[in-house]
Structure 1
Amino acid sequence: MPDVTQELRLPWDDDPEDLYEHAPCGYLTTLPDGTIVRVNETFLAWTGYVRADLIGHKRFRDLLTPGDQIYHETHYAPLLAMQGEVHEIALEVVRPDKRRLPTLVNSVLERGPTGSPRIIRTMVFNASERRRYEKELLHARRAAEASEQRVQVLQQIVADLAAAPTVAEVAEAVVRAPEPAFQATSTSIYLVDAERDQIVAVASTDPTTGNWDDMPRSSTRAVAEVARRGDLHVVGTVAEAEEHFPDLAESMRRSERRSVVLLPLTTGPAEGETGITVLGVLAFSFRDERGLTDGELRMIRLLGQQAGQALDRARLYDDVRRREERASFMARTMRSMEVEHRLLQRARRLVERMVAEIADWALVRLQVGPAGVVEYHGSPAPDQAKLDVRTAAAIKSGEPVFATDGDGLGCTVLPLTVRGTVLGTLAVRMAPDRRGVEAERKFLIDLADRSALALENARLYEQERAIARTLQRSLLADSVPGSDPRFAVETHYQAAAQDMEVGGDWYDAFLITANKLAVVVGDVVGRGIEAATTMGQLRSAIRALASAENGPARLLEGLDRFCDRVDAARMATVVYAEIDLLSSEVAYACAGHLPPLLYEPAGSPQYLLQARSAPIGSRAGDRRRVEHRMRLAAGSRLLLYTDGLIERRNRGIDQGFEILAREYARMRDAPLKGLAAGLADTLVGKDHGDDVCMLCLTLGTEERLERSIGADPLQIALLRADMRGWLAGHGVETECLNAVLLACSEAVANSIEHGYRDDPFGVVDVCATISPETVEIRVADRGGWRGPGNDFARGRGLQLIYESMDEVAFDRGDDGTRVTMRRHRGDNHD
């Protein structure tokens, strides 16, 4: 028997290096700064990288998507530094062919004898199949949930029909009974309205047959006769109907019905005894002449009694249900108004809810606010003069003026009163059967009181919101450097749509020296007065720390020390850049902030992902501050922004980056003035829930100015401001500059007015070039100049162009119109 303690020998030997290289997972060994020093064949095979391209050249985070790179910096690396290891972190590796590989990553930080980080060992698992499996599992789960939900809905419908607590539901259940029970072809049900002395048609399986409308209880029609007598009538033939119910005979001939059953729906003692009450009539018919057996007749009478008892029970509950409906409507309306924070929107929401659910027409008149009297209503509106009289009476007395039958107006007017002050009035026209009911009057008074309070709260909110917005903007930089041909700065701030508190987003731009410009955008954690105060302190600290000697990295280090004294500034994010206006060199650093977006004239938008470090005052991870320097071409545009511009709950941050870059590229030829606001309108809109702060810097003067603007006269002023800065940057004399601006504006206005008269989406292209002798402007459109008045050769605009420029030429073609204008500079001008 072999010794079990002896080591078991395999007939072959495993090569440890081969086990490492071809392990079922990827292995990476990196230095503490992330530089890859070893990688196995499995990882290379999965990703498609070449070993020589990675080792010593790439950091692990360089292989990740931009969003995961930020996550690596702000979460992954700090956790690894604090805990020494991280497990099952989902990251996406970008292959050389730009495809993404979903992975799960485990990392262990090994430290040296002195405790300092030495190397990081990382295991990478391919999560592609797991991701597909999770998607399939999620799809199956959603399908199962949808199936279960459908079953529940069906069960609820069955339960509601069985309970039938209301008159309408009872009528609906009763009208469908004869078809499956007696093979009837059509059924109608009428209910008796004792208060109005009418018989009301309420439900039918085929309303095109018979006399399907309301009737007085005194009518001679068959339904009214049966309702008065309380007897079951079976009309087997048309001839029989002609003898007793002529109107029914005519209906039977018109609809090809041959037999009709008229069943009274009764409650009280059995048939033949006194005291029964007829609550309605059920009429159902057959296409053929039909004789009913005694058993069928007993079932029909039993149906009439059961239906009558159900109707009686439902009517007893109707008053309770009506009160519950009113209470529910009140709660829904108040919640609906609370969603809106503005006074006029709340007034509109109140009227919309009333007209949609309980009223034929409604109107709110407000006597407060800068807008004065404001109205919202349904249609048709009542006589305005009579309504004004009733409204004046309600305001003067402070008491409601109720509508009464036959008053000619049919409207109730209620004052909207809060703490003795009448804010306005609520006028409402209800359906006729709801007028004069005491419960309805109490309901309307309660509705007016609660609505008045909601409207007053909205008025106070608007007042406080205006104060908060004023405070917010007073804390932002009141001005940025201007009138310098070497650069231009455009800023934009947009507060959260519904938030009344001030936020922590901010921007600043200032000259450190005569030839060095600083720009910064930051975001302080939190909201409210404390965040706003911290924002102001950070802005002041940055201005104090900025100097010709300090660069971005040293400035961030100073902000870290600043956080030791101002703890509220901790974890604030900042992107800071310094621009040398003589050499066009920019140095920047990002402290936990989103990367700047650069657009150079000869390239496409790119995010600046270098010089990144943790947020200000961060106590975790690598606290060393770094900066990056690069030289920019003349005409480059640099965009700094806060997260409110791109982050959304319903999409990933990578998609936000892609959308911003695409829109920034699309607006590459737009004037700088209004560029930031245009980006905000496109990416954010007006109802976003987060603050948005942007600063766009244009560096240097372009050799050639090319702009494309929409066919909107408001765009001319933006183009003119852009061109003025460009001309001044090239040293164009004032007289020549003003003349070129005037001529260009007139030419663009003509293109918009005549070329795009019927095309609001048209585009006008403007190209300006300059030489030591002349300034040349070309304005081109692709519109159709139709009609006798649509010609450059007509109107005062052309006269101004000729007076301002030395040479003017027009080129008209099927593809649009182009005007070329030249103005000689200085002494060359004639």
Structure 2
Amino acid sequence: MSHNRADAWDASPCGLLCLAGDGTVLDANAAFLSWVGRDVDELAGRVRLSELLSVGGRIYWETHLSPMLHADGRVDEVAVELRTARGRLPVHLAASVDQPSGLVHVVLSRASERSRYERDLLVARREAERAAAQSRVLQSATAALSRGGTVDAVVAAALAAATGPLGGRAATFWLVTLVGDLVVGGVVGEPPGTAPLPRVPLTSRSAVVDGDRVLVPVHGQARIQGVLSVAPREEPGADPVDHHVLTAVGQQAGLALDRALMYEESAQVAHQLQRALLATRMPSDSRYTVATSYRPGVERLEVGGDWYDAFPIEGDVLSVAVGDVVGRGLGAAIAMGQLRSAVRAVAGPGVGPAALLGQLDRFVQQVPPAVSATLAYAEVDLGSGRVRYACGGHPPPLLMPADGEPQLVWDGRSTPLGVAVPGKARTQAELELRAGDRLLLYTDGLIERRGRSLKVGLERLQEAAAELRGLDPEQTVADLTTTLLRDERGRDDVCLLLLSWH
């Protein structure tokens, strides 16, 4: 707004405003500034008119007045309430849009005494707006809490509701341990550890006042799960914290915490089961190092069918394998354990990778969940570095030379287990390792992504492996997993096995 403040502007008993098209205050006269208890510098270019109205007025401005103003060019004699330093101030609002500048000129006058009928209508409308606003806030908070699959997510949703639409200045969520202690689960709007411990007994399920804070007990089905401690806003004219809505949010948060705790407990059990099935002591020998990494999918609770193994089959020959059983759940995990045991049972001196896959074709016919499983299997002569390998439907191993660029090993490939082509024998291939060379076996979760070609995933694997040259084996598999899964949300299990030949 570019005009000099004239005497008539500041002398007017009405509140006068100049707004930008989006409702931002550009200028205000003395009467309006005295009502709201602000300086013009605090408002100009910083605050929208809707932020200076009561909750009902703000909703009415955004849903009715502003659209009407821009459609018709003016609104006349609308009753709203200003938030002032001394509380709510009823005013009548008139506004018009100046063409072609697009500036909005607003006149606010103190509301005079009206008939009882009009007052009753205004009260009824405000109550309806308040009820509608409460309903929207509660629906939004409930939806956010229901999406929280973990304790951290539920705590974050409750804190966001308390300090967002419910009007809290800050909030701390206290979690109740099994022995009854309170620990901080999350904080918004204040430094951790500054919120005082609740001092009132939390026997009620309703929000209660504790000094300058509002405490919301968060009860689950069997016990109290936490306490939401909310600090109300302190600025003049701020809407008070609604205890009824906070109580309802606390009840929904308690149920959500019950679900989250059950989910996390189930996830822990599932992942412990998965790791128990994978648990095997890697063989140790000065001639080689085997490093492994396993990361479970976290999108669902079911265990998966990814696995790795390494074991000697004779004095100077080491077998390494990485496999993937199709599907998820207990059936896939059991099939994975059976298939891994079958590999150990079949492997032996004189068998070889191709013959091993052929015998596994017959085995998986007796274990239907293992049909179409994929397997990368290799036998390493520890004296010479000669490697015989075969891949049944599995991603190609990655050779990481001590000197040179990583390269994918595409030979020795055939179909997944149990789906061999009639009349076509399984094939195998050979390669030679030199001192310091490494061979990486992995499952497809490391490289496959929705909406991205397999070629791109394999290229990224080669690039990441090249950047990690020189790291020790354990750090290499850890960094490869972190780097390549940075763009993934845990939809699939991932197994890696890195053989380093010394």
The bucket for the TM-score relative to the shorter chain is: 0.7 to 0.9
| Counterpart for residue 200 of structure 2 | 393
Call closer, same or farther: CA 1:458–1:618 in 2, change over 3 Å.
Answer: same
Residues 491-570 of structure 1 aligned to structure 2 (within 5 Å):
491-570=292-371
Report if aligned partners of 2:464, 2:480 keep a CA contact under 8 Å in 1.
yes
Call closer, same or farther: CA 1:199–1:356 in 2, change over 3 Å.
Answer: same
| Counterpart for residue 586 of structure 1 | 387
Give, in whole Å, the separation in 2 of the partners of 1:322 and 1:685.
44
Give, in whole Å, the separation in 2 of the partners of 1:225 and 1:598.
80
Call closer, same or farther: CA 1:616–1:443 in 2, change over 3 Å.
Answer: same
Structure 2 counterpart SS, 1:365: strand
Report if aligned partners of 1:365, 1:374 keep a CA contact under 8 Å in 2.
yes
Give, in whole Å, the separation in 2 of the partners of 1:674 and 1:414.
46
Call closer, same or farther: CA 1:203–1:700 in 2, change over 3 Å.
Answer: farther
Deviation sequence 1:489-545 (CA, Å, 0-9, x none): 100000113322111100000000011110000000111111111110000000000
Call closer, same or farther: CA 1:192–1:633 in 2, change over 3 Å.
Answer: closer
Report if aligned partners of 1:472, 1:532 keep a CA contact under 8 Å in 2.
yes
| Counterpart for residue 375 of structure 1 | 184
Deviation sequence 1:550-593 (CA, Å, 0-9, x none): 01111011111101211111010111111111221111111111
The Cα shift of 1:700 comes to 3.2
Report if aligned partners of 2:158, 2:249 keep a CA contact under 8 Å in 1.
no
| Counterpart for residue 462 of structure 1 | 264
| Counterpart for residue 228 of structure 1 | 112
Q: Which amino acid aligns with 1:667?
A: L
Deviation sequence 1:681-729 (CA, Å, 0-9, x none): 111039632344344444432xxxxxxxxxxxxxxxxxxxxxxxxxxxx
State yes or no: 1:354 paired with 2:162.
yes
Deviation sequence 1:648-692 (CA, Å, 0-9, x none): 113111111110000101111111122111101111039632344
Report if aligned partners of 1:613, 1:622 keep a CA contact under 8 Å in 2.
no
Moved more, 563-572 or 613-622: 613-622
Task: Name the count of aligned residue pairs.
Answer: 429
State yes or no: 1:598 paired with 2:399.
yes
| Counterpart for residue 229 of structure 2 | 427
Structure 2 counterpart SS, 1:525: strand
Report if aligned partners of 2:353, 2:378 keep a CA contact under 8 Å in 1.
yes
Q: Which amino acid aligns with 1:358?
A: L
The Cα shift of 1:440 comes to 4.2
Call closer, same or farther: CA 1:671–1:225 in 2, change over 3 Å.
Answer: closer
Q: Which has the higher contact order (CA 8 A, sep 6+)?
A: 2
The Cα shift of 1:396 comes to 4.1
The Cα shift of 1:398 comes to 5.0
Which ranges in structure 1 are unaligned for 5 or more consecutive residues? 1-163, 182-186, 207-222, 230-308, 404-408, 702-830
Call closer, same or farther: CA 1:515–1:393 in 2, change over 3 Å.
Answer: same
Give, in whole Å, the separation in 1 of the partners of 2:405 and 2:240.
72
Give, in whole Å, the separation in 1 of the partners of 2:68 and 2:426.
80
Structure 2 counterpart SS, 1:341: coil
| Counterpart for residue 337 of structure 1 | 145
Report if aligned partners of 2:93, 2:108 keep a CA contact under 8 Å in 1.
no
Q: Which amino acid aligns with 1:685?
A: R
Call closer, same or farther: CA 1:194–1:581 in 2, change over 3 Å.
Answer: closer
Call closer, same or farther: CA 1:338–1:481 in 2, change over 3 Å.
Answer: farther
Q: In the alignment, which of 41, 52, 65 is matched to residue 171 of structure 1?
A: 65
Report if aligned partners of 2:213, 2:229 keep a CA contact under 8 Å in 1.
yes
Report if aligned partners of 1:494, 1:693 keep a CA contact under 8 Å in 2.
yes
Q: Which amino acid aligns with 1:169?
A: T
Report if aligned partners of 1:360, 1:431 keep a CA contact under 8 Å in 2.
yes
Deviation sequence 1:469-506 (CA, Å, 0-9, x none): 11110000421111x12111100000113322111100
Q: In the alignment, which of 630, 633, 653 is matched to residue 454 of structure 2?
A: 653
Structure 1 counterpart SS, 2:391: strand
Report if aligned partners of 2:163, 2:188 keep a CA contact under 8 Å in 1.
no
Structure 1 counterpart SS, 2:394: coil
Give, in whole Å, the separation in 1 of the partners of 2:491 and 2:72.
60
| Counterpart for residue 101 of structure 2 | none
Give, in whole Å, the separation in 1 of the partners of 2:297 and 2:180.
24
| Counterpart for residue 631 of structure 1 | 432
Report if aligned partners of 2:267, 2:301 keep a CA contact under 8 Å in 1.
yes
Q: Which has the larger radius of gyration?
A: 1
Give, in whole Å, the separation in 2 of the partners of 1:378 and 1:653.
42
Structure 1 counterpart SS, 2:322: strand
Q: In the alignment, which of 356, 375, 396 is matched to residue 574 of structure 1?
A: 375
Give, in whole Å, the separation in 1 of the partners of 2:94 and 2:382.
82
State yes or no: 1:191 paired with 2:85.
no
Call closer, same or farther: CA 1:204–1:574 in 2, change over 3 Å.
Answer: farther
The Cα shift of 1:446 comes to 1.8
Q: In the alignment, which of 254, 264, 274 is matched to residue 472 of structure 1?
A: 274
Give, in whole Å, the separation in 2 of the partners of 1:577 and 1:397.
65
The Cα shift of 1:431 comes to 5.8
Report if aligned partners of 1:172, 1:203 keep a CA contact under 8 Å in 2.
no
Structure 1 counterpart SS, 2:377: strand
Give, in whole Å, the separation in 2 of the partners of 1:506 and 1:587.
20
Call closer, same or farther: CA 1:342–1:439 in 2, change over 3 Å.
Answer: closer
Q: Which amino acid aligns with 1:395?
A: L
Report if aligned partners of 2:91, 2:108 keep a CA contact under 8 Å in 1.
no
Give, in whole Å, the separation in 1 of the partners of 2:260 and 2:173.
15
Call closer, same or farther: CA 1:589–1:393 in 2, change over 3 Å.
Answer: same
Report if aligned partners of 1:359, 1:429 keep a CA contact under 8 Å in 2.
no
TM-score (norm 1): 0.47
Call closer, same or farther: CA 1:463–1:441 in 2, change over 3 Å.
Answer: same
The Cα shift of 1:624 comes to 2.5
| Counterpart for residue 678 of structure 1 | 479
Q: In the alignment, which of 213, 233, 237 is matched to residue 411 of structure 1?
A: 213
| Counterpart for residue 42 of structure 2 | none
Give, in whole Å, the separation in 2 of the partners of 1:644 and 1:429.
46
Deviation sequence 1:134-193 (CA, Å, 0-9, x none): xxxxxxxxxxxxxxxxxxxxxxxxxxxxxx993543333566689679xxxxx9977247
Report if aligned partners of 2:303, 2:330 keep a CA contact under 8 Å in 1.
yes
Q: Which amino acid aligns with 2:66?
A: E
Deviation sequence 1:32-56 (CA, Å, 0-9, x none): xxxxxxxxxxxxxxxxxxxxxxxxx
Give, in whole Å, the separation in 1 of the partners of 2:77 and 2:465.
65
Structure 2 counterpart SS, 1:629: strand
Call closer, same or farther: CA 1:508–1:395 in 2, change over 3 Å.
Answer: same
Q: Which amino acid aligns with 1:447?
A: V
Report if aligned partners of 1:417, 1:424 keep a CA contact under 8 Å in 2.
yes
Deviation sequence 1:59-88 (CA, Å, 0-9, x none): xxxxxxxxxxxxxxxxxxxxxxxxxxxxxx
CA-atom RMSD in angstroms: 4.0
Give, in whole Å, the separation in 2 of the partners of 1:225 and 1:583.
96
State yes or no: 1:486 paired with 2:287.
yes
Q: In the alignment, which of 300, 305, 326 is matched to residue 134 of structure 2?
A: 326
Structure 2 counterpart SS, 1:630: strand
Hey, which of these two has a bigger chunk of helix by percent?
1
Report if aligned partners of 1:489, 1:696 keep a CA contact under 8 Å in 2.
yes
TM-score (norm 2): 0.74
Give, in whole Å, the separation in 2 of the partners of 1:350 and 1:202.
37
Q: Which amino acid aligns with 2:247?
A: I
Report if aligned partners of 1:341, 1:498 keep a CA contact under 8 Å in 2.
no
Structure 1 counterpart SS, 2:320: strand
Structure 1 counterpart SS, 2:304: coil
Give, in whole Å, the separation in 2 of the partners of 1:188 and 1:657.
68
Deviation sequence 1:774-794 (CA, Å, 0-9, x none): xxxxxxxxxxxxxxxxxxxxx
Give, in whole Å, the separation in 2 of the partners of 1:387 and 1:699.
55
